Amino acid sequence: MASIFDVVLYVLIFLSVYVQVFFFVTFLENRKKIIIRNGKTKLKFYPAVTIAVPCWNEENTVEKTVRSLLNLNYPKDKIKILLLDDGSSDNTFKVIKRFEKYPNIKIFHKENGGKYTALNLALQNTETDFFGGLDADSFADSESLVRIMSYFEKDPEVMAVAPSVIVSGPKSIIRNAQKAEYNMGVYLKKMLGFLGAINVTPGPLTIFRKKVFDDLGYYRHGYNTEDMEIAYRMQKNNYKIEHCNDAFVHTNTPGTVRKLFRQRLRWIYGFINNTIDYKNVLFRKKYGNFALFTLPMGVISIASVSYLFGRIIYNLVHFLYLKIVQLKVIGFNFSVRSFNFDPFFVNTQFFIFLIIFIYLLVIFSIILGRKMTEGKWNLSLDMLYFFPVFGLIAPFWLLKAVYNTILQRKPAWR
């Protein structure tokens, strides 16, 4: 008889396989719709767009961010750039002041109130029909905006378009691991876009119709994940969100484990708490795949990783217990045994095959995401970093986010 722990494991594995197969089937259905454009994109009509750059202590990156906006392949008189210093304690304000001379740039300075307050100040000063933000640690590719705007031109029902966010910054093991993860994110986001089930409109250059904010209200704190909360609100009101896979925005990702941990803790905490706030949406068919697939998928992921991690810890403790007993009863009297590989001892329990299957589909997602961002089909070394880095650290931020939610402790921004 399987124990209750085994049954929980099998159920979680079943659901995890379901999620991966769902993505794969969505890919097979829509693969011909994934278009990666080369060269300059042209629109019939170029609507005016306001892009806000909220900054908080971003003196090192904000200049490059603004320059990337000035270099966009989009008529200059159609882009309004709002630079908002959210009470920085470094030289950010001095740096952005240098852009005062540009006629399409406006500078704002306010007391620190959080990113969403800076975005709301920008919204108050927006007169265009389209609005977007660009985080001050991100850099837009020159073709990104025009490609995003082509989605609005094609479909008047589209209310927001998210870009493909890819990793920038000096190379390190942590960044390379994130590179593979972000590539996978591009693929998954595209699939969620096909399903009409995107749950985050990322800070780096998601463009909205201003109508969204006029209808649904401005940004909210959203547990420091305002870009997630607004997406939830849009989904709740059946506002269509698309993903423009060939609009690339490079973002400066955390370069150390500590910074990565804090960022992900904020994201997962945001996911858990926004999902709790929007719990009435869950499994309600009128909210579409967002309610039936995206949100349950997130919950399944957190539950599966936490549970598997718990089992691994249990097995590790058991292993250590045996080693301690061994040390206690025979000391360092270990005999050197010759290692003979015997296939008999290879674990062939059925869930092992399913875990291998899940891993294969994850690898497939990363490869496809890489094809969509870098145009290359081959395997990259980043994957070698992805599995150990995220496998080892992710459970900790997941569990910490659950713990913080239970104790109502809010994580800091960085």
Partner 1 sequence: MIDWKKYLIVLLITTGLFFTAIYLSNYFGNKKIDQLKSIQDKIAIDILSSETQFSLLSELSCKNFSDAILSSELNELGKKLEWGQDNLGSSEELVYLKKYYSLLEIKDYLLAKKISTRCGTKSTFILYFYTKTESCTECVGQGIVLSTLREKYPGLRVYSFDYSIDLSAVKSMLQIYKIKDTALPALVIEDDVLTGFHSLEDLETRIKESFKLQETTPIEGNNNKASS
Residues that bind partner 1 (CB under 8 A): 14, 17-18, 21-22, 25-26, 29, 285, 288-289, 292, 322, 325-326, 328-331, 333, 335, 337, 344-345, 347-354, 357
Work out how close the CB of 292 gets to partner 1 at its nearest, in angstroms, rounded to a whole number.
6
Least Å distance, CB 19 to partner 1, is 9
What Rg value do the Cα atoms of the chain yield, rounded?
23
Q: From the CB of 348, what's the least distance to partner 1, in Å?
A: 4
Which residues are CB-neighbours of 82 under 8 A, at least 6 positions away?
50, 51, 52, 53, 105, 106, 108, 122, 125, 126
Helix (H, G, I), strand (E, B) or coil at 202: coil
The smaller minimum CB distance to partner 1, of residues 325 and 379, is found at 325
CA pair distance 134, 72, nearest whole angstrom: 13
Return the SS3 of 78: helix
Outline where DSSP puts E strands in 71-226.
Answer: 79-86, 105-110, 130-133, 138-140, 158-168, 207-209
Which residue number, 45 or 345, has a Cβ lying nearer to partner 1?
345
Q: How far is Cα of residue 236 from the mean position of the Cα atoms in its chain? A: 20
Nearer to partner 1, 308 or 402 (CB): 308
For residue 330, the minimal CB distance to partner 1 (Å) is 5
- The answer for residues whose C-beta is within 8 angstroms of residue 340's C-beta and 6 or more apart is none
Structure tokens at 304: 């599966």
Among residues 348 and 378, whose Cβ is nearest to partner 1? 348
Q: Which residue's CB is nearer to partner 1, number 357 or number 396?
A: 357
- Select 360 or 379, whichever has its Cβ closest to partner 1: 360
Q: Which is nearer to partner 1, 234 or 272 (CB)?
A: 234
Q: Enter the tokens of residue 309.
A: 């991690």
- Please give the Cα distance from 89 to 333 (Å, whole number): 60
CB of 283 or CB of 403, closer to partner 1: 283
Report angle CA 175, 180, 182 to the nearest 5 degrees.
Answer: 85
Pick the closest to residue 179 from 385, 34, 371 (CA basis). 385
Terminal CA-CA length for the chain: 47
Least CB distance to partner 1 at residue 307 (A): 18
In the bound complex, what is the minimum distance in angstroms from residue 317's beta carbon to partner 1? 14
User: What's the min distance (Å) between Cβ of 368 and partner 1?
Assistant: 18
What is the closest distance, in whole angstroms, from the C-beta atom of residue 319 to partner 1 in the complex?
Answer: 12
Half-sphere exposure of 409 (CA within 13 A, CB side): 9
How far is it, in rounded angstroms, from Cα 185 to Cα 362? 11
Between residues 29 and 155, which has the closer beta carbon with respect to partner 1? 29
Closest of 56, 63, 163, 45 to residue 105, by C-alpha? 63
CB of 234 to partner 1, least distance (A): 17
Element (H, E) at 333: none
